[in-house]
Amino acid sequence: MLTQIFFDGFRVKDFFVHRTAGSLIAPFVTLICVLLAGVGSARAANTAQVEVGFVGVPPTNFQNVLLNVQSVRINRNAAVGPANGGWETIPVPPGIGNSPQNADLQIDLNTSQNLPQLFNTADVRPDTYEIAEVQLDPNNPGTLIPDCPLAPPLSATADGCINYPIQLAAGTNVISVSNTGPGGLIAPEKGKLVELFLQVSMMINKAPTTAGGAYTVTIKLASPPTNPVQLGTVTGSVSGSPTAPTTRVQPLTVTAEAIGTNTPIATAPVQNGKFNLALPAAGGPTGAYGFGTLYDLALVGGADTYQAARLPPLYPGQSLSQNFTPKVGQTLGYITGTISDNCVATKPVVGATLQLLIPPDDITPTPPATPATFCIDSPEQCIAVATANTDDAGNFPLPGTLAIPAAFDNVPVLPKKAAYAMEITAPGYDPLFVQAIPSSGKTGGTCTTSATGATFDACDLALNTGYISGTIPITPPNPGQTTLVQVFAEDHGTNNIESALPMPLAVTNSHVGSCPGPPPHSCVSFTLNVPTSDVVPSGFDLFATTIDLYQGVTDPFQGHTIAVLADVPASAKPSAPGVCSPPTTATFPIDQTIDCVGHGSVTGGPSGVANANLGTSVVLSKDNVLITNAPVQNVTTENPNNSYAFCAPADTYNLQRLQLPVPTFSVVPSSAPTPVLDTNTVTVTIPPPPPAGGPSSAPTPGIKCPTTCEYPDGTCPGICNDVIKPIPE
């Protein structure tokens, strides 16, 4: 008997479940014993730390040079085989991979030219290590996305802005570097942090000879990198003895965050009252020491009070010192609750981000202001010390583990029922600032319902939102094909994107709207969740892109024109809970029709971006709507070419320099600097690719249609074009 009828009529195959549970107990116990045994022995012996990072030396003329890394491992003996038991593995970080390994960390050698990309930090045995290996995914070691070709010959395999797999010439997915001299590659000591930076160079051996074929490449490792590593250190002490980590108390750590964000860059444990962080530091040709990178520090855990600091710029090869004096032995409490939509009753806000903010240690708010009210009034001057997210029912926080409780389940209770400032954000919603008091009982803490509220209640909060509804003209795809359209809204005149559609719009030949015009045309309708005029009084700029396939496989860049519409007003906030304001209207003009045009690229060429530094990027815009930006690469090497590259559909665009101000030496900024858009623009037109395939003869034979899309006559865009456009100062 496999099924059982319950009294409520619900049938389940109960025997099936119980039998399954029973059969799984034995292997589970064995497996867990094996795993715990390994963990225990490793932890007992591993008392040094290794921080691994990558520095990229990519081949030129590629939009992206992507490697799929599974792990890095080191051994004290360069001559040992792969099965040797002495390998120490530094896995991909939590959130990307876990044991058993079945996920990759994709690194882009292009974006790690200027600054090293941190991989992970792990405990290892104190020893001298002679060899390091990078293990790439054996099934899919990486991907190359070339820019469009500059000149003939244009074969069927020459198209750019699409994915090409790579194949390693050495025939193995393992790349290694060794040093058998005294000191080896690294020699981590007990209780200390050592950096292992691996310079990853890729050379092209052979371009593909068949459509969809692989590039044959050689990848080499070097350590230390041939160029000076753009790295600085932050060290310091923490007074008092923290509560030892238990199932309820997370360990005491110091986390470096990108200034003004809750994005962790690196985390260090506090050991014997000290911590040591190695962090990317922007150097380059700027000033005496380089450009400088700005960080916030957050001291969290160990039942200590939260502490935070904002640092002056960190330069390559330099060290900053920051000491903390927290109060220890604090009572820990919870902040739990739900986040919902203030416009649609009972609709949960899924994936909202909640942050507890505190002022840096050197800021003492003047009474009657409190740290909480200070951070609500000036959030840009405060630092995130705890972060949580909502689940699919709008509840927060997501559960942690026994060893590492969720940050919001481990909040130090402040004396005299003092509150923290809490910021709640979600795309398409107004950010909400409230005061929150953690509870050490089972109530889950209390919150105000607004920034100015004084009454504390359960932390069940609602976010305001508004709507934009509109239409976008589109040429319907040929029968049997689908075009997916995504719409974005950004603050007017900026590249600060606020919202996107939760689901792309699917347009087929038979499923497309009709707009009256004039002239009448095919169009697609959308409604977009956006913040209200309270938060974005200047309104929004909208742009719509497509998500395409290229000959049936996923295409990293779109082949349809990007439709834009500037200066769409924001709607007012809900007049009462559950009472939405009417949406504002956004009708894209007919000259913004989404059409199949094919890929294209624009690159800086040998001149690149004049006088660029590590705060320079280039913005691509169309009809005064900023679409995307790209940082200037290869700025810090001995022979910088200050390159940039965009893959964009064939069309006319404007290019502008976006410049982050240079941080002032040894000055602690009050907030994160804002980049400034250069008023000088450079116009570039990327010509459409010649048509290929279809019933008529094609200039690029051998190409199967559809490529990134298809024209109404059955032909499709052929090999795309690259345009070189240097950016003068």
Partner 1 sequence: MASRAMRCLVRILSMSALGAALAFSVAACNNQTGFSGSVGNTPNGPALASYEILGTVGTPFTATVSDARSSWTLQGNVPLSIVICNNVLPARIIATKTTSNSNLLSLEAIIGTRVADLQSTSASFGTVSVQVGGTLNSIASPASPDLRIFVAGPADQRYNALVEDITTGWVISSRAPNLILFDSPDGKVDATLFGAPAFPTFTVNMTLDGAVVAAVVHGPNATIREP
Of the pair 322, 633, the CB lying nearest partner 1 is at 633
Q: How far is the CB of 629 from partner 1 (least distance, A)?
A: 8
Of the pair 275, 429, the CB lying nearest partner 1 is at 429
Task: Give the residue, chosen from 207, 547, 677, 698, that forms a contact with partner 1 under the rule CB under 8 A.
Answer: 547
Of the pair 546, 603, the CB lying nearest partner 1 is at 546
Stretch of 234-242, 275-283, 384-392, 637-645 lying at the interface with partner 1 (CB under 8 A):
384-392
Contact status: 443 vs partner 1 (CB under 8 A): no
C-alpha distances in angstroms, 525 versus 192, 207, 465, 475, 682? 59, 43, 20, 14, 33
In angstroms, rounded to a whole number, what is the distance separating the alpha carbons of residues 354 and 501?
22
Of the pair 262, 656, the CB lying nearest partner 1 is at 262
Q: How far is the CB of 219 from partner 1 (least distance, A)?
A: 17
Buried/exposed 437-464: b ≥16 CB within 10 Å, e otherwise: bbbeeeebbbbbbebeeeebeebebbbb
Is 591 exposed, middle or buried, given 0-12, 13-18 or 19+ CB atoms closer than 10 A?
exposed
Contact status: 502 vs partner 1 (CB under 8 A): yes
In angstroms, rounded to a whole number, what is the distance separating the alpha carbons of residues 144 and 217?
10
Contact status: 103 vs partner 1 (CB under 8 A): yes
Contact status: 110 vs partner 1 (CB under 8 A): no
Stretch of 168-176, 272-280, 311-319, 494-502 lying at the interface with partner 1 (CB under 8 A):
494-502
CB 221 within 8 A of CB 200: yes
Which residue is listed with tokens 């290869």? 634
Of the pair 140, 331, the CB lying nearest partner 1 is at 140
Contact status: 251 vs partner 1 (CB under 8 A): no
Total of residues contacting partner 1 (CB under 8 A): 97
Q: How far is the CB of 93 from partner 1 (least distance, A)?
A: 8
CB 60 within 8 A of CB 109: no
**In 10 A of CB 273, how many CB atoms?**
15
Of the pair 8, 729, the CB lying nearest partner 1 is at 8
Stretch of 15-23, 187-195, 203-211, 577-585 lying at the interface with partner 1 (CB under 8 A):
15-23
CB 383 within 8 A of CB 360: yes
Length of the chain in terms of residues written? 729
Contact status: 181 vs partner 1 (CB under 8 A): no
Residue 173 CB contacts under 8 Å (≥ 6 apart), including other chains: 135, 136, 137, 138, 141
Bridge partners (DSSP) of residue 123 are 49
Residue 1 CB contacts under 8 Å (≥ 6 apart), including other chains: 15
Is 181 exposed, middle or buried, given 0-12, 13-18 or 19+ CB atoms closer than 10 A?
exposed
CB 382 within 8 A of CB 421: yes
Contact status: 674 vs partner 1 (CB under 8 A): no
Half-sphere exposure in the Cβ direction for 435 (13 Å, CA): 20
Structure tokens at 107: 């690194």
Bridge partners (DSSP) of residue 497 are 490
Contact status: 37 vs partner 1 (CB under 8 A): no
Contact status: 140 vs partner 1 (CB under 8 A): yes
Task: Give the residue, chosen from 129, 215, 433, 488, that forms a contact with partner 1 under the rule CB under 8 A.
Answer: 488
Contact status: 503 vs partner 1 (CB under 8 A): yes
Q: 240's torsion region: left (phi>0), alpha (psi -120 to 50) or beta?
A: left
Task: Give the residue, chosen from 123, 137, 567, 678, that forms a contact with partner 1 under the rule CB under 8 A.
Answer: 137
Task: Give the residue, chosen from 47, 101, 370, 607, that forms a contact with partner 1 under the rule CB under 8 A.
Answer: 101
Report phi then psi at 151, rounded to 5.
-155, 160
Contact status: 21 vs partner 1 (CB under 8 A): yes
Stretch of 272-280, 297-305, 477-485, 682-690 lying at the interface with partner 1 (CB under 8 A):
477-485
Contact status: 676 vs partner 1 (CB under 8 A): no
Site mask, partner 1, residues 262-301, x = CB under 8 A?
xxx-------------------------------------
Site mask, partner 1, residues 638-667, x = CB under 8 A?
------------------------------
Task: Give the residue, chosen from 83, 288, 367, 401, that forms a contact with partner 1 under the rule CB under 8 A.
Answer: 401
